[in-house]
């Protein structure tokens, strides 16, 4: 990791976050080299103990961070947190509106003595009529049109990952990076706000513009007016599935040639994409019948040799064996800090870009609760006796 670029090295971020959105922002900054300090309650971030679909939240979004556990409800604990923030370039949080102000940890309070501070807040909604509503990824997907577009008609369905939480954190990090550039020019920080609902609306914006351009209500993706005739999942030998596509007239000719669809290729009424779209149900049925006894692996090999679009249908766990991810360093080791597998080494996914040809890797495993409390308290002026007293009074852990 010594040669990996760390453009944010020397930057200190203090993070008051939980779940996914805020931690994603902190993870991005940490991966870019910042020192990110996660402030947790004494019992630890509740994300540590989630089960089921939430079991991967903490180890996924909290690598490359340090942890300090503080009871903010105690005045002395809030004072510890304020002193820690006094050393920060960036403070990030994702609690309900008004929560941070109770402890003097809001932007107005901190920036009064730290004009260079950049403060990233992650909420359900940007300031406005909805700002005091409780938001979740699924809530904003339902009210923001994404669930409507994802599910079948009459059956709204949330997307298969925490898209708004993750992207909301990414937009928060983008805002922080912009604010850092501006601070380099003006010498002053600013508040950055990111929100789930507005993120969701941004994602659905293409469909809003589709309506504005056409005057037609966008159909949910499973029932959409597909612009390409061959662009679908086919069930083949032994019940396997594979996605196949041909999105141009030239690709259609190649598609027919390599799969032996000579009769379809010869039909004059199928020579152009728009003509094929008009006959899409018949066309897909004919293709599906023709390839039904071929294996997904055989079809994938044919499509790859021909340079045509295709994709195997995979489950998330299948990606651990993906040859491309393994060959390109897209997966990295972390040691799990919590749960029944605590101490075990597993693979995690890295940010999907390179800097100077290098992926940004894991410098620090996801931290145990309060793993860096003593180190960080020493750094802001507490001696051993003071730290012992804070622990005895259950102010820190």
pLDDT 10s digits, 89-140: 999 999 999 999 999 999 999 999 999 999 999 999 999 999 999 999 999 9
> What pLDDT does residue 218 have?
93
Residue keyed to tokens 């993706």: 221
> What pLDDT does residue 54 have?
95
Residue 347 located in a structural domain: yes
Single out the residue of 30, 17, 44, 32 nearest to residue 121, CA to CA: 17
Q: What is the mean pLDDT of residues 298-311?
A: 98
Residue 42 located in a structural domain: yes
Domain count, the chain: 2
> What pLDDT does residue 306 have?
98
| 144/248 same-domain check | no
> What pLDDT does residue 3 have?
77
| 49/158 same-domain check | yes
Percentage of the chain beyond pLDDT 90 is 97
| 168/239 same-domain check | no
**Residues paired with 152 in a beta bridge:** 155
| 31/161 same-domain check | yes
> What pLDDT does residue 1 have?
47
- What's the whole-number average pLDDT of the chain? 96
Range of the domain at 263: 226-315
| 233/187 same-domain check | no
Residue 218 located in a structural domain: no
Residue 153 has pLDDT above 90, yes or no: yes
Residue 321 located in a structural domain: no
Residue 397 located in a structural domain: no
> What pLDDT does residue 390 have?
98
Model pLDDT for residues 252-285, shown as the tens digit of each residue: 999 999 999 999 999 999 999 999 999 999 999 9
Q: What is the mean pLDDT of residues 67-74?
A: 98
């Amino acid at each position: 990791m010594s040669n990996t670029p760390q453009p944010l090295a020397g930057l200190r971020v203090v993070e008051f976050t939980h779940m996914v959105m805020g931690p994603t922002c902190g993870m991005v900054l940490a991966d870019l080299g910042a020192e990110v300090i996660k402030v947790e309650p004494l019992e630890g971030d509740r994300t540590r103990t989630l089960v089921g679909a939430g079991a991967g939240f903490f180890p996924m979004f909290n690598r490359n961070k340090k942890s300090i556990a503080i009871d903010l409800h105690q005045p002395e604990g809030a004072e510890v947190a304020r002193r820690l923030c006094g050393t920060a370039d960036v403070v990030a949080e994702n609690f309900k509106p008004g929560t941070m102000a109770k402890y003097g940890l809001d932007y107005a309070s901190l920036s009064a003595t730290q004009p260079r501070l950049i403060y990233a807040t992650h909420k359900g909604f940007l300031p406005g009529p909805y700002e005091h509503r409780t938001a979740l990824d699924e809530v904003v997907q339902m009210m923001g049109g994404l669930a409507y577009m994802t599910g079948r008609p009459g059956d709204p369905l949330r997307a298969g990952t925490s898209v708004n939480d993750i992207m909301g954190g990414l937009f928060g990090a983008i805002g922080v990076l912009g604010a850092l550039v501006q601070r380099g020019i003006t010498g002053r920080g600013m508040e950055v706000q990111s929100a789930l609902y507005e993120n969701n609306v941004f994602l659905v914006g293409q469909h809003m513009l589709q309506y504005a351009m056409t005057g037609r209500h966008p159909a949910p993706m499973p029932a959409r007016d597909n612009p390409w005739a061959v662009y679908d999942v086919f069930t083949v030998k032994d019940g396997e599935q594979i996605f196949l596509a041909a999105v141009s007239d030239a690709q259609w000719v190649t598609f027919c040639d390599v799969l032996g669809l000579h009769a379809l290729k010869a039909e004059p009424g199928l020579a152009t994409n728009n003509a094929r779209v008009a006959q899409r149900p018949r066309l897909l049925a004919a293709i599906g019948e023709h390839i039904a006894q071929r294996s997904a692996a055989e079809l994938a090999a044919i499509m790859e040799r021909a340079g045509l679009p295709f994709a195997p249908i995979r489950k998330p766990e299948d990606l651990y064996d993906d040859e491309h991810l393994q060959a390109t360093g897209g997966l990295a080791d972390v040691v799990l800090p919590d749960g029944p597998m605590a101490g075990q080494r597993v693979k995690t996914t890295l940010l999907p870009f390179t800097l100077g040809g290098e992926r940004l890797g894991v410098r620090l495993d996801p931290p145990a609760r309060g793993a860096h409390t003593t180190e960080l308290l020493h750094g802001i002026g507490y001696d051993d006796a003071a730290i012992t007293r804070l622990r005895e009074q259950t102010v820190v852990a």
